Amino acid sequence: MAQISVVANAKTSTPKTWVLFAFDKEEGFFNAAAKVGKNLWKQIKEEGFSGKEGQAAVAHWDGQRFIVLGLGTKKELTSETLRRAGAKLARKAREVRVEGVAVEWPRLFKEEQTHAFVEGVLLGSYQFNRYRTQLKDAPKGVQKFVFKVPADLAFSTNKAIQSAQNYCEGALMARDLINGGPSDVTPRVLADAAKKLAKGLIKLKLYSTKELEKMGAGGLLGVNRGSAEPPYLIHLHYKPAGKAKKSLAIVGKGITFDSGGLSLKPAGSMETMKMDMSGAAAVLGVFSQLAKLKPNVEVHGVIATTENMPGGKAYKPGDVLKAINGKTMEVLNTDAEGRLVLADALSYAAEQKVDGIVDMATLTGACVVALGGLVTGAMTNDPKLLAEVKKSTDAEGERIWELPLVKEYKDDIKSKIADMKNIGSAGKAGSIIGGLFLEEFVGNTPWVHLDIAGPAWMDGEVSSIPYLTYGGTGLMVRSLLHLLENA
């Protein structure tokens, strides 16, 4: 990540590229000297720059380079505006091969907007280069960023920057895990990542095949049968030094590769199925930052991880599996495997007697059909908990939309031979059916289900949201950290 520092009431000679901001319909810049602003505005106005949101331009004056960012109208300025502007800066800096920038940080921006801008810079600068060999001349983008502020703003600016760095470090860890090849990021690798996090205030319980058999984790074990890789139920536990305000479980689906099992996916649909562990990656990303942030909340991180493969021992349509809580599940489609492993993860999380559960899963293609690739579907048995989650997702620019858990739809997953079946009728309320299935495993615990199937992965860059780069997005890490810090 870029090195970011704050300079209070001091001159900074390097770097020689400065960042300026402009509002739409207000000629000039509000963080530049009048003489500089007049000269630069003339240059970029001729190129069509007017200060509209999303615009970025480069100008030169007196031996210095300026990257100018448009913010739209002043009355419509939000944290999300600044987050996108920060990412636009990152892209423009890479385009013109700038690695060091400085900014006269305006008093106008609130602390949360400073946080958002830095998030944009860090997220927009992300590149996944693990498998690339031709990097010698590739532009690196922003590596050093200096914020020049008045002395009285130094503390709050530093605080906002540090917070953004922590949030993004967790999100970028998740991105790296998601983007790794499925033969490189296996269930064992997720378990090893959890082991590295288990120190100090964070403890780990790791359950593999023999322990899972004793626990009766039939959903996870059933899905795992066709894989040569062992399954794991990962339980990370953070407990603050003092008395916790509340306890929360965050649960992640960890299918490191989903072939569909015997209900085999078409070849094209498998190409991105390394991302089916995005929920698990988010849990690990969150836990990577808890020892630094030290929220006054007890946090349980639960991950059920396996591959879903069509091996000779693979589970079959017609099989009946039993979850940790004793409920039986008739399998009619082995490609609806996420809910089967989450049945065990949620049952286990509920056994921890927590005050609330939030699960994240790339669960249904139906959610992508309903809400597209930029919005998460949310379902809940507790409106208060969902309101808390939404407050944090709004703050972090990660959009969610509630879908109703229509009780009458439960008839569609009634089984003639088991407690329930793992799919409903084709083409009918698929996302809600998935949520209703999961609800059977949380008992009376307040619970929010986040179907992140759409926004967990980007097939290409989104021009209007430049902090979303190709591949895994690290979705929900920042929102959950915000939730825990503000509980």
Q: Catalytic residues, which ones?
A: 265, 339
CA–CA separation, 49 and 41 (whole Å): 9
Backbone torsion region of residue 295, taken as left when φ is above 0, otherwise alpha when ψ lies between -120 and 50, otherwise beta: beta
From first CA to last CA, the distance across the chain in angstroms is 28
Q: What single-letter amino acid sits at 474?
A: G
Of the candidates 315, 311, 231, 321, which has an alpha carbon nearest to the alpha carbon of residue 277? Answer: 231
Distant-in-sequence, close-in-space partners of 366: CB < 8 Å, separation ≥ 6? 429, 430, 431, 434
- Record the tokens describing residue 357, joined without a space: 């559960």
CA–CA separation, 205 and 347 (whole Å): 16
Cα separations in angstroms, 404 against 233, 382, 444: 29, 12, 18
What is the per-residue DSSP string for 413-448?
Answer: G--SSSSEES--STTSSHHHHHHHHHHTTSTTS-EE
Q: 204: buried, middle or exposed (CB in 10 Å: 19+, 13-18, 0-12)?
A: middle
Q: What single-letter amino acid sits at 64?
A: Q
